[in-house]
């Protein structure tokens, strides 16, 4: 670890490997929205191998919030299909460790808790398609204002598998009304990053009480002429893992993603 710090602005034009390097050294612990443009960003679920098959069944049954983009071998901290030099123990800016269904700690390195019994499942993230939105002139408010994307619990039930089940979490981005259809079509091209929106407009339709009070992330302004648009979110499996009451599991902290070496619109085919 290093005592030197690197700011978000320092990393805005950095490569995926450079961002991961700064994170691995402990020099950057912030959110990753907007970093390593063009590269796939991933949510994480790290859990004991005896629960992994049911969890993968759950993801297969709920592909919108849980699009699987990588799976490790048992006990292996590497993810060779996502990058040559990824170490899942150190390359995420902030982790959450849950024990017995409760948050135990939030840390920047999980080397001390890693065991040979863990399996890592990487899931696509909506940060990935934001670059495509911006390339097409669609504003992304949380990036404009240097914030984390707002995330909300919903009343949308998921298809259960074994001990895994619950309700979907969504991200919200305010989109100009005349660009909503374009945003829908652009994000549809990224099924590995949650694909098209799951709802548009009134938050009450999906059980959200107040868009000014997100459950995770930061609130953003909705300007005149803009409509809130909701995408499935990779925080969903965090809630599902929490409710499953596993003896231990590890996730990324919301907004603090693993950045892969693969292109945002490519198949995950990197191998060592």
Average pLDDT over residues 242-264: 92
More confident residue, 3 or 49: 49
Determine the pLDDT at residue 269.
46
pLDDT confidence of 86, banded at 50, 70, 90?
very high
What is the average pLDDT value for the chain, to the nearest integer? 92
Determine the pLDDT at residue 272.
38
Dist CA 95 CA 107 (whole Å): 5
Domain with CATH 3.30.2040.10 in the chain: 127-236
Determine the pLDDT at residue 91.
97
Determine the pLDDT at residue 270.
41
Q: In the beta sheet, which residues pair with residue 151? A: 171, 216
- Other CB atoms within a 10 A radius of the CB of residue 265 amount to 15
Determine the pLDDT at residue 3.
55
**pLDDT tops 90 at residue 234:** no
Q: May I ask the CATH class of domain 11-125+244-263?
A: alpha beta
**pLDDT tops 90 at residue 44:** yes
**pLDDT tops 70 at residue 266:** no
**pLDDT tops 80 at residue 1:** no
Domain with CATH 3.40.1640.10 in the chain: 11-125+244-263
CATH 3.30.2040.10 fits 127-236, yes or no: yes
**pLDDT tops 70 at residue 169:** yes
The region, left, alpha or beta by phi > 0 then psi within -120 to 50, assigned to residue 132 is: alpha
Closest CA to 96 of 85, 87, 105: 105
Average pLDDT over residues 15-36: 93
**pLDDT tops 50 at residue 188:** yes
pLDDT confidence of 267, banded at 50, 70, 90?
low
Q: In the beta sheet, which residues pair with residue 263? A: 39
pLDDT confidence of 271, banded at 50, 70, 90?
very low
State what percent of residues in the chain have pLDDT above 90.
Answer: 78
Exposed (0-12), middle (13-18) or buried (19+): which is 248, by Cβ within 10 Å?
Answer: middle
Dist CA 233 CA 205 (whole Å): 17
Backbone angles phi, psi at 241, to 5 degrees: -65, -40
């Amino acid at each position: 670890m290093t005592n030197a710090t690197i700011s978000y602005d320092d990393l805005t034009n950095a490569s995926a490997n450079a961002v991961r390097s700064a994170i691995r050294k402990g020099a950057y612990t912030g959110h990753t929205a907007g970093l390593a443009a063009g590269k796939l960003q991933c949510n994480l679920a790290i859990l004991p191998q005896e629960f992994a098959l049911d969890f993968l069944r759950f993801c297969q049954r709920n592909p919108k919030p849980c699009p699987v983009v990588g799976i490790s071998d048992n006990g292996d901290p590497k993810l060779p299909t996502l990058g040559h030099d990824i170490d899942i123990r150190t390359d995420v800016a902030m982790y959450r460790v849950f024990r017995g269904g409760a948050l135990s700690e939030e840390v920047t390195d999980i080397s001390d808790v890693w065991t040979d019994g863990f399996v890592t499942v990487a899931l696509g993230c909506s940060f990935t398609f934001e670059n495509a939105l911006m390339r097409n002139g669609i504003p992304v408010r949380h990036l404009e204002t240097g914030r984390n994307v707002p995330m909300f619990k919903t009343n949308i039930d998921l298809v259960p598998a074994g001990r895994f089940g619950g309700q979907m979490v969504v991200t919200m981005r305010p989109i100009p009304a005349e660009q909503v259809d374009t945003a829908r079509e652009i994000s549809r091209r990224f099924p590995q990053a949650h694909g098209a929106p799951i709802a548009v407009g009134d938050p009450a339709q999906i059980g959200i009480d107040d868009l000014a009070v997100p459950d995770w992330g930061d609130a953003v302004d909705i300007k005149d002429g803009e409509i809130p648009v909701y995408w499935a979110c990779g925080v969903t499996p965090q809630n599902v893992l929490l409710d499953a009451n596993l003896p231990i599991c590890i996730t990324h902290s919301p907004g603090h993603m693993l950045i892969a070496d693969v292109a945002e619109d490519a198949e995950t085919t990197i191998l060592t």
